[in-house]
Amino acid sequence: VDIGTYRYRLAANGNGQWSLVGAKAPPAPKPAPQPGPQPGPQPGPQPPQPPQPPQRQPEAPAPQPPAGRELSAAANAAVNTGGVGLASTLWYAESNALSKRLGELRLNP
Strands 6-12 and 2-3: antiparallel
CA distance 98 to 77: 32
Q: How far is residue 38 from each of residues 34, 46, 55, 84, measured CA to CA in Å? A: 12, 17, 16, 70
Q: Using CB atoms within 10 A of its CB, is residue 63 exposed (0-12), middle (13-18) or buried (19+)?
A: middle
- The per-residue pLDDT for 34 is 78
Q: Would you list the domain boundaries of the chain?
A: 1-26+62-70
- The per-residue pLDDT for 76 is 73
Report pTM: 0.28
CA distance 73 to 6: 9
Q: Using one digit for the tens of pLDDT, what is the confidence trace for 72-101?
A: 777 777 777 766 777 778 888 888 888 887
- The per-residue pLDDT for 16 is 79
- The per-residue pLDDT for 108 is 59
CA nearest 22: which of 36, 39, 5, 37? 5
- The per-residue pLDDT for 5 is 64
